[in-house]
Structure 1
Amino acid sequence: MTLFLRATLGFEKEVMEQAGARLAEAEEAAAEHQRRAIRDPSTAHRSAIYPPGAEYALCHAEAQLMSAVVAVLNESLTESLRGFYKLRRAFTTLQEIHEAEKLYLQKQGKSGHSSRTSAASSTSNVSNNGPSSGSNARKSGAVTPSTSDDEDDFEFVDAKDDPLDLATPIGYQGHLEFPNMSSLNMQGTSGDKLNAGLPTTGQPTDVAVDSKSAAAEADQEVDLRTLTKDPIDLFIHSGTGLCFGLLQLMLSMIPPAFGRLLSLFSFRGDREAGLRMLWSATKFKKDINGAMAGLITLGFHSAALAFCDILSKDALPEARLDNLLTEMRELYPKSKLWLLEEVRMLARARKLEEAVDRLLTGPKSSLKQVEALGLFEMSLSCMYLHRYEDCAESFMKCVGMNNWGHALYYYIAGICYIELYRIHKASDPVKAKEYAAKADKHLHEVPLQTGKKRLMAKQLPFDVFVGRKIQKWDDRAKSQGCSFVDAVGVSPVVEMTYFWSGFMRMSPKHIETSLERLAWSEDTKHNPRWEKESADERAILSLMKAVCHRYLGDTDAATSTLRNDVLSWDLGQLKACEYSDTWVLPIAHYEMAVCHWTLAGGEDGDAEYLRKCSEELTIVEDWEAYDLDARIGLKIRTARETLKRIDASRS
């Protein structure tokens, strides 16, 4: 797991290869130990709940899940497909473990899940192909080892398995507090199975479950600690909750670009269910499963969900998050991973100065990847604080700490020097010239760094974005007869702040400074070329001004600016610009949706404004692909889920 964390935090190819090799060893060892336990149960842990070897089956599944993530990050479409197949196999194992626990609780009269149990049973028994090896394994009291022998040839065919028997269970019905799992399934249309190389069946197996009744049942679920003190049983129990919860959460966050690939496996997730499972797994803070569940839960809320704009009132359980972080910091006082979560929480509370100070004075980590992550967080915070020189120098240190994201580091460092050049251009020409040279150097390093890293054989979206930006500015410098730094458009620092959700972390004072940096572009005293500026740059300026107004609480000004100065442009007009920034229009529609949400008063507010909010979201959802669409993809998906829950509650 340490190698896995190093690989996913640093994205270094060498470390990912090491992690992949070690995880393969772990898979093989766990599978062998499990087979040995099944052959001779007397040599294995004796559990009243789980079949012999279940602890090794869990370790095998966890290794497969980690291996799947590393595979997707490995810059290869083939490896990514292998990874998703491993995920499928891991899910089968986890399902069989949870079936054993469910059976035990039923025998103890502690289940309290009759409706979901019967639904799960009726679902898994629907089959046109006879019983599967998985069901036979459960009847015999063993968890089937999911070996990787059939994965080596990379064929999505498993004649021994009935895909319906591999369907996602309706609910992980042991002890954890979460709703049903019907939305996370591994079945789909017959066409999906044919595309995946899997046998087809005659009918789907979706089972509709009332979310309210499922939540009510969750409140009655049994804490396994009241039935057993066996540490291995509790390890299996917490690990299964961690894995199911993480799967639900991961699949609910998959960006649209992965949709076609995941359709081969008929994967879809449920964020609410995943978070409920992860929260419950955090009860076991002293084992690695509970600690990882805590890290994921805190990270998701502080680094993802907290920066969504359209949320229900209970989406961020602040007190619960504070308590979890306090407990984890007390348990692991020397761990910088928990310090990073504390820093993120401070940033979420708009205490950026305190967050930076905490990073500077906090403990060092023995893992350079964790140190690099801390440095990255501090670099972004300096950008939001308008500490441009500190930000640029900090990002240049990031270059030496890993080999991933160099285009981003050089780009942000370069645009920070652009701002410093503009600030000193009139008052201190000598210093301005120095900053201009640094900006030119760093920004022209960006094209040399793009394209080196790929995700699923595709160039990274950010690399595409910044590569186009540099080309645009080079072209403008030639056509306008000016220097490269003078050809740069509307404050790219403010633009980056938006894409990295920085405005949510900034105090009003910092946002006012952003407005000042935007004003420089349209001040003809400083920028005489503004009168002939292109349509897309004018639209960027207006959009960023509207964003600043919204975060300052002036929703009316934000709405007026969006309607009159951004959405008044036609897409064709923006596309006519050289190396055009067409992302402005779909994001303007998203911003308009947020304004309508604010004017409505939130989830309990005016229905007409909520309807308008939904309409604007629909426009964005139906928009063609645009630059960095994944950067706001989670915000859009969260907004839609929030509105759906409102509709459901009102109906």
Structure 2
Amino acid sequence: MMVWYSERTTWTGRARADETTDMERAEAELSKGTSPFHKLGLSTAVFLRATLGFEKEVMEQAGARIAEAEEAATEHQRRAIKDRSTAHQSAIYPAGAEYALCHAESQLMAAVIGVLNESLTESLRGFYKLRKAFATLYELSEAEQKYLRSIGRSNATSQTSIVSSTDKLSSTGLQTPTEGSGVLTPANLSDSDDEGAFVDAEDGTTTHRHNGELTETDLEKLTLDDMSSKPNGGIGSSAPTTGAGATTATAFAQADADVDFRSITTDPIDLFIHSGVALCFGLLQLLLSMVPPAFAKLLSIFSFRGDREAGLRMLWSATKFKQNINGAMAGLITLGFYNGAIAFCDILMDDAVPEARLKNLLQEMRQLYPRSKLWLLEEARMLGAEKNLEQAIAITNDATPGGLKQIEALRRFERSLNCMYLHRYEECATGFIECVGLNSWSHALYYYIAGVCYVELYRAHKVNDPKAAAAYAEQAEENLHKVYSNVGKKGFMGRQLPFDVFVIRKLKKWDHRTKTQGCKFVDAVGVSPVAEMAYFWSGFKRMNEKQLLKHLQNLEWSEDLSLNPRWAQELADEKALQALLKATCLRFLHRVPEAKAMLSEGVLSHDLLQLKACDNADVWSIPVGHYEMAVCYWDEARGQHGDKVILQKCSDEIAKVEKSESYELEARVGLKVTTARETLRKCGVSSV
């Protein structure tokens, strides 16, 4: 027991030692141990590098490390079942629960790596691992709830939720977990029944191997029943469907909110298990609640659904344990969610972003990890959300060089985006080109944004400094045409990245216009592509009045016939795109009536088929135009307490986005749409 505690202390301390400059040291120290905790710590360190940088070789390394951690956890779990003296003796959890948690955390990481992998097969295998991890977390949370009830610390709300969840489980035909079983059996932790379940057929389709036979799998009919019918039973067959289990997660979150677990036990191992369950359950619920509408259909195959409020409550609860890896990760995820996602949504409840609480959390994390650049990055994002872009850049400038190249790439990426929003285009272009040497994930993105920055510089100098304009035109064409050789190198779930599809279409469009209009390539570029990129990266919300007016000026360049005589013959898709981006600027300038009029007349007056008829058409302006109109109604109603008639109009516009055809980069708007729908439901406004 003391040996185990010593090992756990070592890996927890080392893994939380500065995760940037000390990452290699942490990995070296963790490699010296062979316990599940050393292996989990090591796999977590490599996993962080993989998910921060998305490099294929690092993801492969992470996958191998995670597999080792899974195997070690399974073996130690078996040993704990045979001889309980080898495991932690807990009054709360079943024997070997600490190893079950290690296994579940490993499976969650494996699921993420699988989904980020370029193979659909690996993505599907990842979803199965996700479901199995959920099952383990479910049993651990049930053990906690049982213990709380036994000491009279579980309130009626959480008890009712658990009963409701159990009723749902019974109705699914699956067995509910047996209370008081006291063990998580070794069979439950074995992944042997998953190995080889999915293989890539020679024709590129995905097949499913079951009981030694190979049959075609119809993904539209694939359900969780495929797993519950497996012969080895255990957690996989006794756990809830993930949809039903969301109710259990809500109960667990409610118990977390009502009971500080530190008042229940001071045992560090029990607290480690509790914080780990809160972290993992919370992250699962949060991620599943953020799924864009298009991706939700695939996840529904696996009965996955989330509860954002429950997920956030659990993550906040886990941040109480800041000095272990679970608490540190929960803090990073919570700050990242608010600073990188919710902060840039438009239709939100008044209390959707707990600013004071977030600032306190960031301050505490900075004190605990003073050299970590990850917290500096979060502070820069927080400043950006407050429209303080200059200070956000100053913070990223102050970061000492060195450390993980993945963190350095993120720093330069964030700084370069802020330079773009400040119209410091030369710095922005230089920063993105530097990212090429730091990160292999999307060189096409880096070259594209650098290229369109040079387009904007060309336009700004075309009249007054033709020599400088010519140099910028050359740099624009050079960088934009590098995109062709850098797309298709990465994929997501077996498909080309959406951004790659987007930029290739744009480049083909401009190349075609160059030939048909007999102009230079840089003159064939359409409506301000920098403003377009700022929209997709939620940059308009970070800008103050001066910066927004500059974007309007850049957009109006296209309409000035003395500068751009081709505008008179411009096609409908470009004019709709122009109107959309101008309307968005007007909305952020609080000129909502003007924004609504421009959307109605310049965007939504067009028929989708009319736009599709254009060469290499930009058609995304129509669904996004409906979203922008919804935000205008939300602003017109003055938010959640506004006129219900106007809020219903907002909801009707969101429904039009939800029902629209798939469009490029919809995932970048999808979170805003999902958040808007959730907000309107809280306001008592129904969907159509």
Please give the TM-score of this superposition, normalised by the length of structure 1: 0.90
List gaps (5 residues or longer) in structure 1.
160-188
Match of 1:73 in 2: 116
Q: Is the contact between residue 195 and residue 264 of structure 1 (CA under 8 Å) also seen in structure 2?
A: no
Structure 2 residue 97 is matched with structure 1 residue 60: no
1:197–1:157 Cα change, 3 Å: farther
Structure 2 residue 164 is matched with structure 1 residue 119: yes
1:148–1:365 Cα change, 3 Å: farther
Which of residues 139, 145, 169 is equivalent to 2:181?
Answer: 139
Aligned residue type for 1:314: D
2: CA distance between counterparts of 1:118 and 1:625? 40
Deviates more, 1:406-415 or 1:566-575: 566-575
1:552-583 deviation digits (Å, cap 9, x = unpaired) = 11111101111122212222221111001011
Aligned residue type for 1:77: L
Match of 2:223 in 1: 192
Q: 3-state DSSP class of the match of 1:151? A: coil
Q: Is the contact between residue 283 and residue 311 of structure 2 (CA under 8 Å) also seen in structure 1?
A: yes
Match of 2:400 in 1: 363
1:193-242 deviation digits (Å, cap 9, x = unpaired) = 457784899x999779999x979965872222112111111000000000
Structure 2 residue 514 is matched with structure 1 residue 477: yes
1: CA distance between counterparts of 2:501 and 2:354? 37
Which of residues 516, 529, 541 is equivalent to 1:492?
Answer: 529
Which of residues 658, 661, 665 is equivalent to 1:621?
Answer: 658
1:49–1:209 Cα change, 3 Å: closer
Structure 2 residue 310 is matched with structure 1 residue 267: no
Which of residues 288, 297, 301 is equivalent to 2:338?
Answer: 301
Match of 1:580 in 2: 617
1:388–1:612 Cα change, 3 Å: same
Structure 1 residue 46, shift from structure 2 partner: 1.5
2: CA distance between counterparts of 1:571 and 1:13? 38
1:521-543 deviation digits (Å, cap 9, x = unpaired) = 11111111111111111111111
Match of 1:245 in 2: 282
Structure 1 residue 258, shift from structure 2 partner: 2.8
2: CA distance between counterparts of 1:294 and 1:321? 9
Aligned residue type for 1:385: L
Q: Is the contact between residue 165 and residue 245 of structure 2 (CA under 8 Å) also seen in structure 1?
A: no
Q: 3-state DSSP class of the match of 2:178? A: helix
Q: Is the contact between residue 117 and residue 492 of structure 2 (CA under 8 Å) also seen in structure 1?
A: yes
Match of 1:642 in 2: 679
1: CA distance between counterparts of 2:62 and 2:577? 42
Match of 1:4 in 2: 47
Aligned residue type for 1:605: G
Structure 1 residue 265, shift from structure 2 partner: 1.3
Structure 2 residue 486 is matched with structure 1 residue 449: yes
2: CA distance between counterparts of 1:89 and 1:495? 41
Q: 3-state DSSP class of the match of 2:400? A: coil
Q: 3-state DSSP class of the match of 2:153? A: coil
Match of 1:403 in 2: 440
Match of 1:99 in 2: 142
Please tell me the root mean square deviation across aligned C-alpha atoms, in Å. 2.6
1: CA distance between counterparts of 2:477 and 2:172? 64
2: CA distance between counterparts of 1:53 and 1:204? 24
Structure 2 residue 376 is matched with structure 1 residue 333: no
Q: Is the contact between residue 246 and residue 307 of structure 2 (CA under 8 Å) also seen in structure 1?
A: no
Structure 1 residue 191, shift from structure 2 partner: 7.5
Q: 3-state DSSP class of the match of 1:347? A: helix
Q: 3-state DSSP class of the match of 1:88? A: helix
Aligned residue type for 2:507: I
Q: Is the contact between residue 279 and residue 297 of structure 1 (CA under 8 Å) also seen in structure 2?
A: yes
2: CA distance between counterparts of 1:42 and 1:362? 48
2: CA distance between counterparts of 1:91 and 1:219? 18
2: CA distance between counterparts of 1:40 and 1:216? 33
Which of residues 75, 80, 93 is equivalent to 1:32?
Answer: 75
1: CA distance between counterparts of 2:454 and 2:342? 31
Q: Is the contact between residue 633 and residue 650 of structure 2 (CA under 8 Å) also seen in structure 1?
A: yes
2: CA distance between counterparts of 1:400 and 1:21? 25
Match of 1:351 in 2: 388
Match of 1:383 in 2: 420
1:230–1:458 Cα change, 3 Å: same
Match of 2:38 in 1: none
Q: Is the contact between residue 70 and residue 107 of structure 2 (CA under 8 Å) also seen in structure 1?
A: yes
2: CA distance between counterparts of 1:29 and 1:204? 27
1: CA distance between counterparts of 2:310 and 2:90? 28
Structure 1 residue 641, shift from structure 2 partner: 0.7
2: CA distance between counterparts of 1:205 and 1:31? 23
2: CA distance between counterparts of 1:281 and 1:157? 39
Q: Is the contact between residue 196 and residue 265 of structure 1 (CA under 8 Å) also seen in structure 2?
A: no
Match of 2:264 in 1: 227
Which of residues 503, 508, 511 is equivalent to 2:540?
Answer: 503
Structure 2 residue 314 is matched with structure 1 residue 277: yes
Q: Is the contact between residue 292 and residue 674 of structure 2 (CA under 8 Å) also seen in structure 1?
A: no
Deviates more, 1:463-472 or 1:108-117: 108-117
Q: Is the contact between residue 425 and residue 457 of structure 2 (CA under 8 Å) also seen in structure 1?
A: yes
Correspondence 1:415-426 to 2 at 5 A: 415-426=452-463
Aligned residue type for 1:71: G
Q: Is the contact between residue 611 and residue 619 of structure 2 (CA under 8 Å) also seen in structure 1?
A: yes
Q: 3-state DSSP class of the match of 2:189? A: coil
Structure 2 residue 117 is matched with structure 1 residue 51: no
Aligned residue type for 1:221: D
Match of 1:535 in 2: 572
1:196–1:115 Cα change, 3 Å: closer
1:594–1:127 Cα change, 3 Å: closer
Aligned residue type for 1:192: T
Deviates more, 1:111-120 or 1:373-382: 111-120
Q: Is the contact between residue 422 and residue 547 of structure 2 (CA under 8 Å) also seen in structure 1?
A: yes
1:101–1:340 Cα change, 3 Å: same
Aligned residue type for 2:162: T
Please give the TM-score of this superposition, normalised by the length of structure 2: 0.85
Q: Is the contact between residue 256 and residue 313 of structure 2 (CA under 8 Å) also seen in structure 1?
A: no
1:327–1:587 Cα change, 3 Å: same
Match of 1:180 in 2: none
Which of residues 435, 460, 466 is equivalent to 1:429?
Answer: 466
Aligned residue type for 2:311: G
Q: 3-state DSSP class of the match of 1:148? A: coil
Q: 3-state DSSP class of the match of 2:348? A: coil
Q: 3-state DSSP class of the match of 2:190? A: coil
Q: Is the contact between residue 593 and residue 616 of structure 1 (CA under 8 Å) also seen in structure 2?
A: yes
Structure 1 residue 509, shift from structure 2 partner: 0.6
Structure 1 residue 479, shift from structure 2 partner: 0.5
1:240-294 deviation digits (Å, cap 9, x = unpaired) = 0000000001111223343343233111111111111111111111111011001
1:322-380 deviation digits (Å, cap 9, x = unpaired) = 11111111111100111110000000000101111110112345211111111110111
1: CA distance between counterparts of 2:243 and 2:515? 59
User: Identity of aligned pairs, percent?
Assistant: 59
2: CA distance between counterparts of 1:392 and 1:266? 43
1:539–1:400 Cα change, 3 Å: same
1:218–1:98 Cα change, 3 Å: closer
Q: Is the contact between residue 468 and residue 579 of structure 1 (CA under 8 Å) also seen in structure 2?
A: yes
Structure 1 residue 140, shift from structure 2 partner: 4.2
Match of 1:149 in 2: 192
